[in-house]
Amino acid sequence: MLTLDPPPAADATALEKFRIVGICGAACDFARLPDAIQNAWRTQFPQLGSYMKQYAAQTAAAKSWIDYNPPGSLLGTTDQHDYARRALALGSGTGMLGLRRDEANYWITFTDGAGAPLTANKPNTLHLPPGGIPSKAFWSISLYEVQDRGQFLTPTPINRYQIAGNTPGLTTNPDGSIDIRIQPTAPTTPGNWLPSPATGGPFILFARSYIPDSPVLSGTFTMPAATAAG
């Protein structure tokens, strides 16, 4: 990856530190590293894996939405040098390639507003304010099924994997707000249906706002929690 997509010059100091421990792309050969470095990898790598699992568990236990790109975030910029956070996010399966926050904002949730895990064996409603997520371009809510190796789009009977402001048939309430129905079977308003896994298993919701509007950029907008539909 380092060969295909060379890092910016500003990362030169960090890259030299990586090279010393054997992270430098195709040019690095583990067998040629000093014995001390090889032994350090062998002894510490299992601990890193355990740490990543703990991080993933803490993230999944968080109530409602986690803002990936809050005010002050350096995600998507060359000034983001928190390599430990990058490794944890990618290694735990909750990471992503992100744009700058003036280009996009991201939220993720594993739970409803009561802190209960999102599972397809119970219907949920996500009530968005008039106009949906404040965006100058577009917004979307995507659903990913939680599996052993990460989170993936799940097959649906209508081939729908997200609800967005331009979803065909999307209906609004009299005040312009939007109720997204998250369940495995079709509701009475099919245009607002975001199908959840037919297996009844756990899933996550991922919200995106492209060219976020001022309420998102200022941090005054809060993603509403999903609620059990009863």
Taking a C-beta distance cutoff of 8 angstroms, is the pair 105, 69 a contact? Answer: yes
First-to-final CA distance of the chain: 47
Sign for the CA dihedral angle at 57, 62, 68, 74 comes to negative
What average pLDDT score do residues 170-196 get? Answer: 96
3-state helix, strand and coil shares in percent for the chain, rounded to the nearest 5: 25, 25, 50
pLDDT tens-digit series, residues 66-113: 877 666 666 656 666 666 666 665 655 555 556 788 899 989 998 998
pLDDT for residue 54: 67
Q: Give the β-pairing of 104-109 and 65-67.
A: antiparallel
Residues near 90 by Cβ (< 8 Å), separated by ≥ 6?
none
Q: Mean pLDDT lowest for which of 8-22, 63-77, 155-169?
A: 63-77
- Domain limits, the chain: 56-228
Is the model more confident about 196 or about 11?
196
Give how far the C-alpha of residue 16 lies from the chain's centroid of Cα atoms, to the nearest Å.
30
Q: Give the β-pairing of 124-128 and 227-228.
A: antiparallel
pTM of the model: 0.72
Closest CA to 217 of 100, 132, 113, 139: 100
Place of tokens 């001022």: 214
Sign for the CA dihedral angle at 59, 64, 69, 71 comes to negative
Q: What is the mean pLDDT of the chain?
A: 83
CA distances from 100 to 79, 86, 211, 220 (A): 11, 15, 10, 18
Place of tokens 């090889």: 38
81 vs 55: CA distance, rounded Å: 19
pLDDT for residue 154: 86
Q: Is the pLDDT of residue 46 over 60?
A: yes
Q: Could you tell me the CATH superfamily of domain 56-228?
A: Domain of unknown function DUF1214, C-terminal domain (2.60.120.600)
What average pLDDT score do residues 201-230 get? Answer: 92
Q: Is the pLDDT of residue 194 over 70?
A: yes
pLDDT for residue 129: 97
Find which of 36-40, 51-55, 79-83, 189-193 is predicted with most confidence, using mean pLDDT: 189-193
Is the model more confident about 174 or about 154?
174
